[in-house]
Amino acid sequence: MIEILNLHKSFGELQVLKGIDLEMEHGKVLVIIGPSGSGKTTLLRCFNLLEVPDQGSLSLSDIKINFTDNKKIPQKSILALRQKTGMVFQSYNLFPHMTALGNVMEGQVTVQKRSKDEAREHALQLLTKVGLEDKADAYPHQLSGGQQQRVAIARAMAVDPEVLLFDEPTSALDPELVGEVLKVIKQLAAEGMTMVIVTHEMKFAADVADRIILMDGGHILEQGTPQEVLEHPQHPRALQFLNRISGEEV
């Protein structure tokens, strides 16, 4: 179970998250949607403390962290939480001097202290899983954007996280490359991987999500099944946003 209670986050005078409450079960997929500046990515980054909330609490399995103004979170707690999460960024963030195989091995060797042989075997299995077994020795500059993002997914999975976090995983891709990344994410969802995904791909959200939350202005305006949120929104601002998005997709 993942639980967030009364989460607040500000950057200077700007309040970005204004009392977020949510729960999700392991094995489920939560998709976060909403207009730019709504707080989606900040909320996602709070899941693994890339952004440290000002107030509230976060629970993941046996870890619970309480946040109060100006209270420093122990590094031990941060590392324990991050060991349970894997992050996939918009811009891939691969190490340019390492091959695809090296990128997927790195965290296993440096963080988990696996032997190189063990890390290599696991990395090759994951590259096969994302359809890139033939690109193990390729460097990032030799790969398409879609291939780089699939390597990034394999790298995030390599440390055996309980939760995968995706920040707009297709936003930096050319349209013809989006499908290959979404296919991998759908496959992971079908296998029961717990995932939190920020996306602007509404059709993908409808296909993959067990639950969707729609954010605006640092609040959750709508939450429920894809059908409830996307087809029957109750909040006028949510309806306005979805109507605009559907108009852009036509």
Distance CA 176, CA 55 (A): 41
DSSP E strands, 116-227: 163-167, 194-198, 211-216, 219-224
pLDDT for 250 equals 38
Distance CA 3, CA 56 (A): 11
Q: In what order do the strands lie in the sheet with 219-224?
A: 85-88, 163-167, 194-198, 29-33, 211-216, 219-224
- Cross-strand bridge partners of residue 165: 87, 196
**Cβ neighbours, 10 Å, residue 157:** 22
Tell me what the mean pLDDT of segment 175-185 comes to: 89
Residues 165 and 109 in one domain: no
Is the pTM here over 0.85, yes or no? Answer: yes
CATH number of the domain that residue 34 is part of:
3.40.50.300
Q: What are phi and psi of 18, to 5 degrees?
A: -125, 60
Q: Is the pLDDT of residue 245 over 70?
A: yes
Confidence of residue 248 (pLDDT cuts 50, 70, 90): low
Domain range enclosing 136:
88-160
With respect to residue 133, please indicate whether it lies within any of the assigned structural domains: yes
With respect to residue 54, please indicate whether it lies within any of the assigned structural domains: yes
pLDDT for 247 equals 67
Confidence of residue 212 (pLDDT cuts 50, 70, 90): very high
**Residue that finishes a domain, picked among 160, 179, 204:** 160
With respect to residue 180, please indicate whether it lies within any of the assigned structural domains: no
Residues 165 and 49 in one domain: yes
Tell me what the mean pLDDT of segment 120-134 comes to: 96
Gyration radius (Cα) of the chain, Å: 18
Residues 11 and 130 in one domain: no
- Cross-strand bridge partners of residue 9: 17
Q: Is the pLDDT of residue 39 over 60?
A: yes
Residue 219: exposure state from Cβ atoms within 10 A (0-12, 13-18, ≥19): middle
Q: What is the largest CA-CA distance in the chain?
A: 56
pLDDT tens digits, one per residue of 135-166: 999 999 999 999 999 999 999 999 899 999 99
Residues 2 and 61 in one domain: yes
Distance CA 5, CA 67 (A): 10
What residue type is assigned to position 2 of the chain? I
Residues 145 and 26 in one domain: no
* Domains: count for the chain: 2
Question: By percentage, how much of the chain surpasses pLDDT 70?
Answer: 98
Residues 73 and 165 in one domain: yes
